[in-house]
Amino acid sequence: MRKIDFTEYMIDRMLPAPHGTPKKSPDALIGATIVAFGVADLDENHLFIDFIPRGSVERMRCVLEFDDTIMEVVYLGTSPNRDESSLSSGASPGLCVVP
């Protein structure tokens, strides 16, 4: 496996989307406190991020759908308040479950 220095890369907030129309990543994630992230029983192509936006106390959820060529926000809204509901069964909060 090739070793990559990820510190050398700049973050591009424009997410590659279907039909060549990039969309900006959600502003609510900038400066937010991430309380959980990982996958769910849905499938392997969705990343769930539960977070508390800067200056807020309300827990929110962002779901990214992706494949080899696109990444788009398919849900941005409220989140359940239970940590265990944010991830696949058996996972602990804050753990990224990678197949």
Give SS3 for 36: strand
| Between 96 and 12, the higher pLDDT residue | 12
pLDDT 10s digits, 36-82: 989 888 777 899 999 999 999 999 999 998 888 888 888 999 998 65
pLDDT at 85 over 60: no
Structure confidence at residue 1 (pLDDT): 79
Helix extents (H) in the chain:
none
pLDDT digits (tens, 9 = 90+) for 5-32: 889 988 888 887 777 677 888 889 999 9
The DSSP H or E segment spanning 48 is: strand 46-52
pTM: 0.71
Show me where the domains of the chain are located.
6-86
Instruction: Return d(Cα 17, Cα 3) in angstroms, integer.
Output: 28
